[in-house]
Amino acid sequence: MTVLVRVRLAVLERTIASGQVPTAGEIAAELDMPLAMVQEAYAKLGEGHVFVCEQDDPSRLRMANPFSAVPTAFKVSARGGSYYGNCVWDSLGIVSLLGGEGVVETSCPDCSQPLSLRVTGGKLVESDSVVHFSVPARRWWDDIVFT
């Protein structure tokens, strides 16, 4: 298994287990790797749009897609854990990654009314909501934090 795969899997496994996206130092200790090697993996995974590092600290992730390392308006409950998604798309991806059963709690960006999106058997149920992306998909990575 390559270093990139080992680091990516370790980050995902730790995030799923704890609900918190780990730092490079935590992953370096877990995998018994030099910190610089994990930071390099974080950067390379960032180039591939898998991770987003904090601009001022290459040891900290902002996003380990589909998970957010910071609180967002998209709270996900699935498989007994709580997580934050970067957007509704990623939040539904978290539910799918964790077995297709869960709930995304958010609010309407237009009117602020609370929204609860329930997924059962891998399908979104009982929702008349509309997902709108204000930034075209081809432009998401121009400023992924804004998107």
Per-residue pLDDT of 63-105, as tens digits, reads 999 999 999 999 999 999 999 999 999 999 999 999 999 999 9
Whole-angstrom distance, CA of residue 36 vs CA of residue 28: 9
51-54 β-sheet, strand order? 51-54, 57-64, 67-68
Please list the residues that pair with 102 across neighbouring strands. 78, 119
Which amino acid, one-letter code, is at 38?
A: V
pTM, two decimals, is 0.88
Residue 105 CB coordination number (10 Å): 16
Whole-angstrom distance, CA of residue 94 vs CA of residue 12: 11
Helix (H, G, I), strand (E, B) or coil at 136: coil
What is the set of domains in the chain, with CATH numbers? 3-65 (1.10.10.10), 75-141 (no CATH)
DSSP-derived secondary structure letter, 137: G
Across the range 123-141, mean pLDDT stands at 74
Across the range 49-68, mean pLDDT stands at 94
